């Protein structure tokens, strides 16, 4: 989370404009497990990117490039939809 | 100054005419006594092609206010109307309308809340949403209901405000009683009200927004404070808008109206149509040498605490009349007045009156002024005198 704004700096009604959703680093809600990848098994189908409910799947152009854990809540959807088993959940604290 | 020939209209008809002249884009509404004549009259005007409004026939007041938020924030000038149980059902969404800063104008025909079920006037419905963050302006007469409705969009849509504005008129006593009302010419109203402009219309697709977002403990507090400050801003906006309105009509409005107060030693404080009855009694008692006056509170929210203190602080006696009770506590107008007068030497007492449409007769006001009225005016069954 960046610098918190005071009441005078907030837009009327607290409206949110594009891009602002990146500010709250909601990965702090994650408990227990985080995704890991066996990159050799990845076929770059991008189903994980498509299904991730936040923006935790990072792309390099159109290629899978890993996870942004600042937005990952450990929901396991990516591991569930991965057709090759390349993604699996690992315990927090494991590199 | 624009003068017109008065027409004989009820408060409901007068507000329907105000709505025709404002010509809002959208009116989502559900009928309820005693508000029904407002929307019934307005719907007829729309059906006759006299206004160009999309009337949305919703299935409840909860939906009426929900649809009103959507249309007001989409970028359409939006009005609605309700009473009593309708406002109670709507209450959840009224809070959201205020927090989303939707400048909706709503006519309220004040009616007692159930139970027992009752259709007649008191102010318990207004007081139910006292702390919702909406503006509440109380009319004394059909003329005031019309005038305040014409001013309401200017207050609601002011960039320092952007909040719902309720124009409250006493059910039946004003909504259904005909009296001479001066209407402004249509073009004058159109020019006075102007175009509908809000900062973030949803339909501005070049500048997309998410509206009504979740706010965690890190932002809820700041957003609530900004909303509360916007309601306080109404005080100065109302002065400016009422000033322009006075230029047009010669009719003067403010957060308070002081009547026979300049040399008074005591005064009554009241809201709504009872102020008319009280003015007559003040005139009668003035003729007998009783130095009594009246302060009518037009703007109940925001409450003009400082102005009320200035108006009443040097008096000997202040008597507050509440048309709503606060069981287990102090009636709302009495409590506000007590807070305003804290530290002054004025003796303060309060009476509740008129619940469920019980009339306040001139004789009751005389009794109040001579100390012969109970704390609950007109209640059958003896109480101690206050």
List chain A residues with CB under 8 Å of B199. 11-12
User: What is the helix, strand, coil percentage profile of chain B, to 5?
Assistant: 40, 20, 40
| Range B208-215 contact pairs with CB under 8 angstroms and sequence separation of 24 or more | B208/A17, B208/A18, B209/A15, B209/A16, B209/A17, B210/A15, B210/A16, B210/A17, B210/A21, B211/A13, B211/A15, B211/A16, B211/B73, B211/B100, B212/A13, B212/A14, B212/B96, B212/B99, B212/B100, B213/A14, B213/A15, B213/A16, B215/A14
Q: How far is CA B241 from CA B149, B207, B294, in A?
A: 12, 30, 24
Question: What is the pLDDT at residue B185?
Answer: 97
Mean pLDDT (chain B) is 97
B157-171: average pLDDT: 98
Q: Domain segments of chain B: what residues?
A: 7-249, 256-369
B199 in contact with A at a CB cutoff of 8 Å? yes
pLDDT at B385 over 60: no
Phi, psi of B222 (to 5 degrees): -65, -40
pLDDT by position in tens, chain A (length 95): 468 999 999 999 999 999 887 888 889 999 889 999 999 999 999 999 999 999 999 999 999 999 999 999 999 999 999 999 999 999 987 66
Report the run of H or E that residue B106 belongs to, with start and end: strand B105-110
Question: What is the pLDDT at residue A1?
Answer: 46
pLDDT in tens, B26-75: 999 999 999 999 999 999 999 999 999 999 999 999 999 999 999 999 99
Q: Using only C-alpha atoms, what is the Rg of chain A? A: 16
CATH superfamily of B7-249: Thiamin diphosphate (ThDP)-binding fold, Pyr/PP domains (3.40.50.970)
A21: nearest CA partner in chain B: B210
Q: How far does A8 lie from chain B, in Å, by closest CA?
A: 7
**Common-topology check for domains B7-249 and B256-369:** yes
pLDDT in tens, B219-276: 999 999 999 999 999 999 999 999 999 999 999 999 999 999 999 999 999 999 999 9
Domains recognised in chain A with CATH numbers: 26-91 (3.30.70.20)
B162 in contact with A at a CB cutoff of 8 Å? yes
pLDDT in tens, B321-370: 999 999 999 999 999 999 999 999 999 999 999 999 999 999 999 999 99
Q: How far is CA A20 from CA A14, B209, B221, in A?
A: 11, 10, 19
Separation CA B260–CA B280 (nearest Å): 11
The complex's ipTM works out to 0.85
H runs (alpha helix) in chain B:
11-22, 36-47, 61-74, 84-99, 124-128, 142-156, 186-193, 220-249, 274-286, 305-312, 332-340, 362-369
Report the run of H or E that residue A81 belongs to, with start and end: helix A77-81
Separation CA A78–CA A94 (nearest Å): 18
pLDDT in tens, B73-84: 999 999 999 999
Cα atoms in the 13 Å half-sphere on the side-chain side of B36 = 6
pLDDT in tens, B275-295: 999 999 999 999 999 999 999
Q: How far does B227 lie from chain A, in Å, by closest CA?
A: 8
Please judge whether A10 and B226 are an interchain contact, meaning their C-beta atoms are less than 8 angstroms apart.
yes
Separation CA B332–CA B123 (nearest Å): 10
Confidence of residue B140 (pLDDT cuts 50, 70, 90): very high
Separation CA B320–CA B131 (nearest Å): 20
Q: What CATH topology corresponds to B256-369? A: Rossmann fold (3.40.50)
Q: B interface mutation test: which of A5, A14, A20 has the most B CBs within 10 A?
A: A14
Percent of chain A with pLDDT over 90: 78
B204 in contact with A at a CB cutoff of 8 Å? no
**Of B362, B360, B366, the residue nearest B377 (C-alpha):** B360
Structure tokens given for B266: 């005591």
pLDDT at B146 over 80: yes
């Amino acid at each position: 989370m960046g610098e918190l704004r005071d009441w005078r700096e907030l837009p009327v009604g607290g409206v949110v404009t594009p891009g602002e959703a990146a500010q709250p680093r909601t990965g702090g809600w994650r408990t227990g497990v985080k995704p890991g990848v066996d990159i050799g098994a990845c076929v770059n189908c991008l189903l994980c990117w498509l299904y991730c409910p936040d923006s935790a799947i990072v792309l390099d152009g159109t290629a899978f490039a890993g996870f942004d854990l600042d937005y990952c809540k450990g929901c396991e959807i990516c591991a569930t939809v991965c057709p090759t088993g390349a993604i699996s959940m690992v315990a927090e604290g494991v590199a | 100054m624009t003068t017109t020939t008065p027409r004989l209209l009820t408060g409901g008809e007068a507000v329907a005419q105000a709505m025709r002249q404002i010509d809002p884009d959208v009116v989502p509404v559900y009928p309820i006594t005693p508000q029904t004549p407002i929307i019934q009259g307005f719907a007829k005007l729309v059906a006759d092609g006299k206004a160009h409004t999309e009337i949305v026939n919703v299935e409840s007041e909860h939906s009426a206010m929900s649809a009103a938020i959507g249309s007001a924030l989409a970028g359409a000038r939006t009005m609605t109307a309700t009473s009593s149980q309708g406002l109670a059902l709507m209450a959840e969404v009224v809070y959201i309308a205020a927090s989303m800063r939707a400048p909706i104008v709503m006519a309220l025909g004040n009616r007692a809340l159930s139970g027992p079920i009752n259709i007649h006037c008191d102010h318990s419905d207004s007081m139910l949403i006292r702390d919702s963050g909406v503006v509440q302006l109380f009319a004394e007469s059909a003329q005031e209901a019309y005038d305040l409705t014409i001013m309401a969009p200017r207050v609601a849509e002011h960039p320092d405000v952007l909040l719902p504005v309720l124009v409250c008129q006493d059910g039946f006593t004003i909504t259904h009683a005909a009296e001479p009302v001066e209407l402004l010419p249509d073009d004058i109203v159109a020019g006075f009200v102007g175009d509908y402009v809000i900062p973030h219309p949803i339909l501005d697709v070049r500048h997309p927004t998410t509206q009504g977002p979740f706010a965690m403990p890190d932002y809820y507090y700041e957003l609530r404070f900004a909303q509360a400050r916007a309601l306080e801003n109404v005080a100065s906006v109302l002065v400016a808008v009422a000033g322009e309105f006075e230029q047009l009509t010669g009719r003067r409005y403010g957060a308070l109206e002081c009547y026979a107060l300049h040399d008074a030693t005591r005064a009554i404080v009241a809201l709504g149509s009872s102020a008319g009855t009280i003015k007559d009694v003040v005139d009668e008692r003035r003729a007998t040498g009783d130095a009594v006056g009246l302060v009518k509170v037009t703007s109940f929210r925001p409450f003009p605490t400082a102005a009320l203190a200035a108006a009443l602080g040097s008096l000997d006696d202040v008597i507050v009349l509440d048309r709503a009770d606060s069981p287990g506590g102090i009636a709302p107008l009495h409590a506000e007045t007590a807070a305003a007068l804290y530290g002054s030497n004025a003796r303060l007492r309060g009476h509740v009156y008129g619940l469920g449409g019980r009339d306040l007769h001139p004789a009751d006001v005389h009794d109040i002024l001579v100390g012969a009225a109970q704390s609950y005016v007109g209640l059958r069954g003896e109480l101690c005198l206050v």
